[in-house]
């Protein structure tokens, strides 16, 4: 009964099998192996983007921060939601990799930037010439940190704002697969067709051991990425092991199956939680995470019963004063079982 | 017949088995799992350093650059050999992570810093007060990039110079195991007893998939490392998979067995190459790499026969003018077989 | 009739005379001259801080950004008001000099941080361990960007919050003299006695040509400042010319006389503006700047009559739609004359 | 009798007069004043470069480091002489401003890079793809740190090497005027006609109070400079005072007269020193500095007699062992008098 995060699960069996297969014999290092080439080609196919350049790294923070670094100057503003992972959960990695850019925060319900709020924030930034940080780039998280999903039309609405100001767009897709199956669109529709320039295409949270692909739709930006990746210590020597994970992840649409499972589990959990006494959602359940408030007593029972999850926001004391329900973040993954959900629901009901 | 690098091999079977074992069930992420704790304790034991702090990262460049970043200010000089990996092969990662320090280069045969050369170089640096880059730290590579090994006494001689100038010492041990079995000493003798403050303890080149431990002998420096690791995007969420590799690597002295095998293979190869017509060593074979010059015609035969390796230095054209022998770098690994060596020797003889 | 900024004025005659006096003969460079030593001693006296270290630079941005750099790590949050100069008007200089820290914004009327808002913001930051930017430092602007003044008690209230979280405090005193004469306290009361660790002590805006002193009350932080100043290109070779300005600035309390004049002029202007038809203050006039709204027609007359000033906020179009009054920022300086004020008032009345 | 540096002199009277003239009335700040515009135009004329962009800063280190920052990526190598000011005397400012580039050192007598040495060094750098720091830019110091002067033909020879590798070229002209009058050529011939892209055009060492112009011959690089200057804290608010210095410096060829005087004084000093017993030059006297060795006893007499200068290199102990002559660096400036020279020569003779 672990809903703490989708990264508390291990790797899907197909991923582990692929690692074992990739292990035999010598292979050129640093990504010059045939498996890496095949994965790059496969991702270009999946995204219908024959010109795209694809790079593998092992962590989502690396994918995001390196992406920002090729999209903005050090004096550029990175426009993102107030609750974006790059703002709240990466210890300033974007600032580090960009050489000191400023994250400028945009509001919107459910951690979704509201296009008019984005437009106002961008318009407000950099009007004072060299005295101000300049407009740099936009970063969109899909699915959001509150478990919401942008549709392609919503992504496009944000990208249109960016385009009006000539800004490139990054998508943090640590949970891209979850967003995609929720939105029911193609990878191309969710990204470059809507106006996204660079995607952090997550694998780790959705059943891989540790791999993310950075998909750069404009190949002119690619060489700089390669240098920044190496300089950041993110170029693997035994690169075949990143490639093997990604190959298995894409093979037979495994990535979509895993994400669909996680989303289905979350929907089930969401439905069950809402039926519990005194419980209600605080964010709609659109992908693989449930944000719901329920009575303190239910929390006490759940935790005593062995359920692992975070209160939300993180700093809520369980034993604080007051009678109002406390919110929980409950994340489902490829590995979440119906039994876990039922056990949890029985504890809080 | 691949001698291009020790990173062209895959992972040892024990490593792969450990990954599979670690995969079951949920585990706390980001290093808060029991396997990680066990590995930390094991490394403290092996190094006889109960106060040491241990951190895992996935690449050697990350281990080195993060180590430098906690040991020197941005305005500090990093004293290292002219051919150190941090100088020549990391695309400026130390400069990036330290915030712009300067690598100040020291001479010495076989990529070993000569203590008197180190002393002269340190003494020459930073005499002009704030106008100069200040003395920052010393970084020692063991085994060296030329396949040589520092004995504990030689490490101590360098550390003594560092201590005279109150400088901390880092050891780049990407091939630490190879150096250790060559020197026939304990991990403690090679590191903190000789004066080393921080060690990049390599796993990847010696049979792991991708893991290095940074061993910080002075715990006061540890908290900064944690923050820099996260900020650099090097904190793995599914951290158990780094820990599992390292656990298996240390279990039953696997790391020493693998390194010993690589060194033995290199010795055999070295002996065979020296017996080839017109061949001679350009660096002594002390660890797992052979640097030897032999006639162009032999190179042509070797490469036609499928041998993979680099000419040395890297930019030598095989078809250049002149009659003199060309040097090769031939690296053996845990996976190198006698059959590969014999096949290679038959080609160049 | 120029109220655009206090930096559109020249230098006070006493400052120019001091430069001429300092020009004779050879002097040691880089601050090793007797005039610099004398200025350092004088500032220690004025601040009743015999241990303080004093450094001169030529711009306020340099003073602020270098001060931040010695007070926070790259992964630290700089807590400041949403309208602080370091946030809005320095093109990210703090981010650059600190190596990528994050400015975390605090609310409060008239660009004054509200202590409870500061406490909430600090408490909210860095709770997630290494995943978050850490709590770094607090920066207080006095006088504020909205022309308000913190009293020593108000400064202390903010410093007390900082102390509760073990954070150092910087004061951006680009208009320190204006704040001081408004508050009617001593330099010590406004700074270290209230809990300030480092002060940017402004000279440029208050009648100097270009000089600011950084006063570091804790000498342990000083050596790092020297190195960062040099590395930032802010150590003047002909340093006597910075020292001469500062000496004359302090001589006979010139700095306080100049600031008092500016404040008096602002009070007069404020009173006059409030008497104009349809006009009202948008911020209280506490130092040397008047923020007042008045009808568009009055703006048109003022600008046609040659008055120079900024609409506030900067991006207000004078010819926009709507009937409501538009705000202006009107800054007085040591050089502002009563005639200028009367001319301006006659235009808008 | 001060030969410690050309920055121990004050400012020429014409410079001081210009400051006084510029002081009257209000002026737009941050370089938007007519005097600044006039100076920019004048420099474009002098350099016969109607497209050039001109920016003023107050220190040579700022001029150099900002210039490097617009010419190379963080992962680029800055090729310069082993004794260049940017390598030895700026506390790593180029590394700071560029975001961590690496200065790669080139040899050559009298601190002049030898073109073949430059070519070899550039060719040797960055051959290993992303593993290496890339080729970034070339920086030429004229006059050199050893008092030598590159002719336009010699500058062109270095620029030709740079062009072969598609690298931009910076000239550190802290003593540009001294070099120019020594070489007897036009500013254009010494810079863009020879292939220089950006010039640090020094004023401070040659009679200004503190001003350097950065002349960017390719206007495409200019906008980035403006932002980096502001972000570095080097944009003066009362900018007219930088402009006034530069205007007076250029007016009536003052800059050339001052430099010619300094060079003539150095020639006289050089001749006199060579005639002293046991003395000999260690570098040819081509600009305004004399590098000469003479007996210890003569040093003792000179210093007892009040002569200020540095032993060369800086760390020579005057009272060390040995009988051989010790070298001195003796720098003449616009303010050096024949009387000073005669007094010095009488002491050492």
Q: What pLDDT score was predicted for residue C319?
A: 75
B228 contacts on C by Cβ (under 8 Å) = 75
B57 contacts on A by Cβ (under 8 Å) = 233
Q: What pLDDT score was predicted for residue D149?
A: 98
Tell me if chain B has a CB within 8 Å of the CB of D102: yes
> Contact A248/A18 with Cβ under 8 angstroms?
yes
> Contact C145/C82 with Cβ under 8 angstroms?
no
Q: Cα(B75)–Cα(C336) distance, rounded to whole angstroms?
A: 44
* Strand pairing category for A280-283 and A310-311: unpaired
Closest partner residue to D75 among A73, A131, A231, by Cβ? A231
Tell me if chain D has a CB within 8 Å of the CB of A226: yes
- Encode pLDDT of A130-174 as tens digits: 999 999 999 999 999 999 999 999 999 999 999 999 999 999 999
Tell me if chain A has a CB within 8 Å of the CB of D130: yes
- Encode pLDDT of D170-180 as tens digits: 999 999 999 99
Average pLDDT over residues A233-252: 98
Alpha carbon distance, N-terminus to C-terminus of chain A: 15
A235 contacts on B by Cβ (under 8 Å) = 59, 61
**Where does the pLDDT of residue D324 fall: very low under 50, low under 70, confident under 90, or very high at 90 and above?**
confident
Tell me if chain B has a CB within 8 Å of the CB of D72: no
D99 contacts on A by Cβ (under 8 Å) = 74, 99
Tell me if chain B has a CB within 8 Å of the CB of D115: no
> Contact D75/A229 with Cβ under 8 angstroms?
no
Answer whether B235 sits within 8 Å of C75, measured CB to CB.
Answer: no
Tell me if chain D has a CB within 8 Å of the CB of B91: yes
Scored b (16 or more CB within 10 A) or e, A225-260 reads bbbbbbbbbbbbbbbbbbbbbbbbbbeeebbbbbbb
Tell me if chain A has a CB within 8 Å of the CB of B329: no
Tell me the shortest Cα–Cα distance from C90 to chain A, in angstroms: 5
- Encode pLDDT of C181-224 as tens digits: 999 999 999 999 999 999 999 999 999 999 999 999 999 999 99
Helix (H), strand (E) counts: chain C: 14, 11
Estimate the crossing angle of helix D34-46 against helix D240-250, to 10 degrees.
Answer: 40
pLDDT tens series, chain C, 349 aa: 899 999 999 999 999 999 999 999 999 999 999 999 999 999 999 999 999 999 999 999 999 999 999 999 999 999 999 999 999 999 999 999 999 999 999 999 999 999 999 999 999 999 889 999 999 999 999 999 999 999 999 999 999 999 999 999 999 999 999 999 999 999 999 999 999 999 999 999 999 999 999 999 999 999 999 999 999 999 999 999 999 999 999 999 999 999 999 999 999 999 999 999 999 999 999 999 999 999 999 999 999 999 999 998 876 777 776 778 999 999 999 999 999 999 999 999 9
Tell me the shortest Cα–Cα distance from B206 to chain A, in angstroms: 11
Answer whether B236 sits within 8 Å of A92, measured CB to CB.
Answer: no
* Encoded tokens for B74: 């941005």
Tell me the shortest Cα–Cα distance from B116 to chain A, in angstroms: 31
**Cβ-Cβ contacts under 8 Å for C166 (sequence gap 6 or more):** none
- Helix, strand, or coil (residue A200): strand
Answer whether C131 sits within 8 Å of A75, measured CB to CB.
Answer: no
Tell me if chain C has a CB within 8 Å of the CB of A305: no
Is pLDDT above 90 for B231? Answer: yes
Tell me if chain A has a CB within 8 Å of the CB of D224: yes
- Encode pLDDT of A172-215 as tens digits: 999 999 999 999 999 999 999 999 999 999 999 999 999 999 99
Closest residue in A to B64 (Cα) is A233
Q: What pLDDT score was predicted for residue D319?
A: 75
Q: What pLDDT score was predicted for residue A315?
A: 65
Tell me the shortest Cα–Cα distance from B157 to chain A, in angstroms: 30
Helix (H), strand (E) counts: chain B: 14, 11
Scored b (16 or more CB within 10 A) or e, B116-155 reads ebbbebbeebbeeebbbbbbbbbbbbbbbbbbbbbbbebb
DSSP string, B190-231: HTTTTT--EEEEE-GGGT-SS-EEEEESSGGGHHHHHHHHHH
> Contact D11/C23 with Cβ under 8 angstroms?
yes
Radius of gyration of chain D (CA): 20
Closest partner residue to B314 among D98, D128, D133, by Cβ? D128
The DSSP secondary-structure symbol of B2 reads: B
Tell me if chain D has a CB within 8 Å of the CB of A280: no
Estimate the crossing angle of helix B13-22 against helix B240-250, to 10 degrees.
Answer: 140
pTM for the whole thing?
0.97
Answer whether A131 sits within 8 Å of D230, measured CB to CB.
Answer: yes
Tell me if chain A has a CB within 8 Å of the CB of D260: no
D230 contacts on C by Cβ (under 8 Å) = 61, 90-91, 93
Interface of C with D in 42-61 (CB under 8 A): 57-61
Interface test with B, best of A4, A22, A26 (most B CBs within 10 A): A26
C56 contacts on D by Cβ (under 8 Å) = none
Q: Cα(C167)–Cα(C163) distance, rounded to whole angstroms?
A: 6
D90 contacts on C by Cβ (under 8 Å) = 230-231, 233
> Contact A318/A303 with Cβ under 8 angstroms?
yes
> Contact B139/B104 with Cβ under 8 angstroms?
no
Tell me if chain D has a CB within 8 Å of the CB of A99: yes
Cα A216 versus chain centre, distance: 16
Is pLDDT above 70 for B198? Answer: yes
Tell me if chain A has a CB within 8 Å of the CB of C75: yes
- Encode pLDDT of B318-332 as tens digits: 777 777 899 999 999
* Strand pairing category for B76-81 and B134-141: parallel
């Amino acid at each position: 009964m672990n809903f703490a995060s989708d990264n508390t699960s291990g790797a899907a069996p197909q991923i582990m099998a692929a690692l074992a297969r990739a292990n035999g014999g010598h292979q050129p290092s640093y990504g010059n192996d045939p498996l890496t080439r095949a994965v790059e080609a496969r991702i270009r196919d999946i995204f219908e983007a024959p010109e795209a350049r694809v790079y593998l790294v092992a962590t989502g923070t690396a994918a995001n921060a390196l992406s920002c670094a090729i999209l903005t100057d050090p004096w550029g503003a990175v426009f993102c939601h107030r609750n974006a992972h790059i703002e709240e959960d990466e210890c300033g990695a974007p600032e580090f990799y960009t050489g000191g850019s400023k994250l400028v925060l945009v509001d919107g319900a459910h951690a979704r930037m509201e296009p008019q709020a984005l437009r106002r924030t961008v318009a407000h930034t950099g009007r004072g010439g060299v005295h101000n940080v300049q407009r740099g780039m936009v970063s969109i998280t899909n699915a959001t940190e509150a478990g919401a999903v942008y549709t392609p039309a919503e992504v496009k609405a944000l990208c249109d704002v960016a385009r009006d100001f000539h800004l490139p767009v990054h998508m943090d897709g640590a949970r891209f697969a979850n967003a995609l199956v929720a939105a029911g669109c193609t990878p191309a529709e969710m990204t470059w067709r809507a106006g996204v320039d660079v995607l952090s295409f997550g694998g780790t949270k959705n059943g891989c051991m540790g791999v993310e692909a950075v998909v750069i739709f404009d190949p002119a930006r690619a060489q700089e990425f390669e240098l920044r990746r190496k300089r950041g210590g993110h170029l693997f020597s035994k690169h075949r092991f990143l490639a093997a994970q990604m190959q298995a992840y894409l093979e037979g649409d495994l990535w979509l199956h895993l994400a669909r499972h996680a989303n289905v589990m979350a929907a089930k959990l969401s439905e069950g939680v809402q039926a519990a006494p005194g419980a209600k959602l605080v964010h709609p359940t659109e992908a693989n995470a449930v944000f719901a408030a329920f009575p303190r007593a239910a929390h006490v029972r759940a935790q005593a019963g062995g359920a692992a999850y975070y209160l939300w926001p993180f700093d809520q004391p369980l034993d604080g004063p007051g009678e109002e329900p406390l919110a929980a973040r409950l994340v489902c993954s490829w590995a979440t079982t119906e039994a876990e959900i039922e056990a949890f629901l029985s504890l809080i009901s």
